[in-house]
Structure 1
Amino acid sequence: MCQQQLGQLQAELDRFDDVDVDLFAISPDSPEAHKELKEALGITYSFLSDPALDVLEHTNMVDNNQPKRGVSVLDENGSVIMNYEDDMFGMHMDETESNIIEALEEIE
């Protein structure tokens, strides 16, 4: 996982305070590696370990058996509402926030 993007997301997390959304970072890394990274970066949102890439494949965020960096929005039933690849999603927070909110509005 890209530490810079995860850290930027943490720094901008308050953008989602008034939005009914659960944010996760997903990667094939182990829970232990996630715990170490969260502690090192001061991350407060959840990480999901997906070693078999099942969730990432479901969200179409895998290419040649490698996870893509980007954003996905799923509804409460796990249906994919929106996804897109963006290696710099944390640096593009205006766009990231806008895309997430727009996708959530489709669910309502």
Structure 2
Amino acid sequence: MFKLKRKIMSKLYTDIFDLATAKVYAVGRRSVWRDYFDLYFILKNNYIGLDESLLMTETRYGSVFSQKLFMEQLAYFGDIKDFSIEYGLGQKKIDLDEVKSYLLKVVKNYSQSHV
């Protein structure tokens, strides 16, 4: 039982890394609200930190990924056209302004700590 649980948790951790990496890359290239929302969820719940996500994305995508562009996009919501999110049954709906506010705080904190 313990080995199975460890294997499942290891797979989950890998999947979260993959998801975070894909979302970080996507936010820098397109303006789709679900990418911002997914990053909010990952970062807010401390599944993976921003530093770790950026490092993994740079490792995976190399020079195609621009950390500067990503940070600018993460703090800009003006070109997002559709803010709808499909929630699963029983999931708590999260306020749009809460997501925006949190992501702006993440960018500000990161910028201040990486001067």
| TM bracket (short chain) | under 0.3
Using the size of structure 1 for normalisation, the TM-score is 0.25
Larger Rg: 2
Which one scores higher on RCO, CA 8 angstroms, separation ≥ 6? 2
Using the size of structure 2 for normalisation, the TM-score is 0.24
Greater helix share, structure number: 2
Greater strand share, structure number: 1
